[in-house]
Amino acid sequence: MNIGEFSLIEKFFAHGGEKAAIELGIGDDAAAVRVPYGHLLQISTDTAIEGVHFPRDLLPADAAYRSVMAAASDLAAMGASPIAMLLAITLPACDEAWLSRFAKGLRAASDVTGLLLVGGDTTRGSLSLTVTVLGSTPAASGLRRDGARPGDRVCVSGTLGDAAAGLAIIQGGLKTSDQATAKFLKERFTGPTARLALGESLLGVATSAIDLSDGLLADAEHVAKASAVAIEINSDKIPLSPAMRGLADSGQILQWALAGGDDYELLVTLPPDEPVPCELTEIGRVTDGLGVSCDQTPASRGYDHFA
């Protein structure tokens, strides 16, 4: 870690928060963190690049907020309790006004998730944010992708496709005169919520979980592959927001719901006898076989950087 440079962020991230889990935060060669006795450390890293993962004119606070949430969402998908995060940021220039606004978004996301910034690195180049998140689960638990079994029900949290519709509005490809609708959908892209509490509540309940970052079909495919099962999705059952539903034709809506990424909702499988919690909607089931099937086919199945 290069603290000389990282002090840029430190300066703009004068966070008063302290956590008993943090023995040593920003300012040394490494951060020192306590993992609760009998718990596993859960760790994940996520890169967001301007112009790829978010538009070039996104507000700095939004870029920070959604990058943290995207990374935190991986902890939610493991059922992990959040502990801390590190930020490796590449910046085109040292623009204090930009950094100040960026730090506000970072701090807001830290407050919401409980992930305290304990370290990072600052380098010069085109804008890129790599957030590493740390959490913990009781040992021998943790919501993995490989536990789905034939007979399980497939459920998702929230409503799907909103972030993709919001991004279309932000990028100008989609117009609406309904300001409330536009605001709701744009915020689903700029300010997603990692389902941390939901993930934790599903420990010992769900047989598998993944967060929806690439799109429903693409992420369901990861679970099907890891669990060596087939997943059948009923498109009629996918929860859709009224805001998104009123904006486009059914083909476009299906495209957003099945293949639009960035919602950061959870996809989980539940044993057949397990009641479906109120935060979840049942959208299909797990069967013998391999792969994901759906009664409807979108034009494209999801985002892959190197497809």
> Can you tell me the distance from the alpha carbon of 305 to that of 133, in angstroms, rounded to the nearest whole number?
22
Q: Given the complex with a second copy, which of 48 and 238 has the nearer CB atom? A: 48
Q: Which residues contact 19 (CB under 8 A, 6 or more apart)?
A: 83, 84, 114, 116
Could you tell me if 80 and 42 are in contact, meaning their C-beta atoms sit under 8 angstroms apart? yes
Q: Which tokens hold the place of 1?
A: 């870690």
Q: Indicate whether 213 belongs to the interface with a second copy (CB under 8 A).
A: yes
Element (DSSP H or E) covering residue 105: helix 96-113
> Residue 271: phi, psi to the nearest 5?
-60, 150
Look at residues 139, 280, 109 and name the one whose alpha carbon lies nearest to residue 209: 280
Minimum separation from the CB atom of position 6 to a second copy (A)? 10
Q: Which is nearer to a second copy, 215 or 247 (CB)?
A: 215
Distance CA 299, CA 133 (A): 34
Q: Residue from 128, 227, 241, 255 that binds a second copy (CB under 8 A)? A: 128
The strand pairing partners of 232, in sequence order, are 285, 293
Q: Which stretch binds a second copy (CB under 8 A): 83-91, 101-109, 161-169, 270-278?
A: 83-91
Alpha carbon 230 to its chain centroid, in Å, reads 24
The residues in 244-303 that bind a second copy, with binding defined as CB under 8 A, are: 302
By the rule CB under 8 A, 46 interacts with a second copy: yes
Decide: is 37 part of the binding site for a second copy (CB under 8 A): yes
> Residue 80 and residue 136: Cα distance in Å, rounded?
5
Among 10, 162, 200, 214, binds a second copy (CB under 8 A): 214
* Residues of span 85-124 touching a second copy by CB under 8 A: 86-88, 90-91, 93-94, 118-124
Contact 55, 171 (CB under 8 A): yes
Beta strands in 139-279 (DSSP E): 153-157, 208-211, 230-233, 266-270
Structure tokens at 19: 């956590």
If the CB atoms of residues 175 and 305 are measured against a second copy, the closer one turns out to be 305
User: Nearest approach, Cβ of 290 to a second copy (angstroms)?
Assistant: 16
Q: Which CB atom, from 88 or from 109, has the smaller least distance to a second copy?
A: 88
**Is 4 a binder of a second copy (CB under 8 A)?**
yes
Length of the chain: 307
The window from 56-64, 73-81, 159-167, 247-255 that contacts a second copy (CB under 8 A) reads 73-81
CB of 246 to a second copy, least distance (A): 31
Looking at residues 17 to 36 of the shown chain, list those that interact with a second copy (rule: CB under 8 A). 23-24, 27-35
The least distance separating a second copy from the CB of residue 245, rounded to whole angstroms, comes to: 28
- Report the distance separating Cα 78 and Cα 204, nearest Å: 11
Which stretch, 49-57, 171-179, 233-241, 246-254, contacts a second copy (CB under 8 A)?
49-57
Contacting a second copy within 131-150 (CB under 8 A): 132-135, 137, 139, 142, 144-146
Size of the site for a second copy (CB under 8 A): 75
| Candidate list 45, 111, 228, 237; residue touching a second copy; CB under 8 A | 45
- Show contacts with a second copy in window 219-248 (CB under 8 A): 222, 226
Q: Residue holding tokens 């304990």? A: 118
Q: Coil, helix or strand for 290?
A: coil
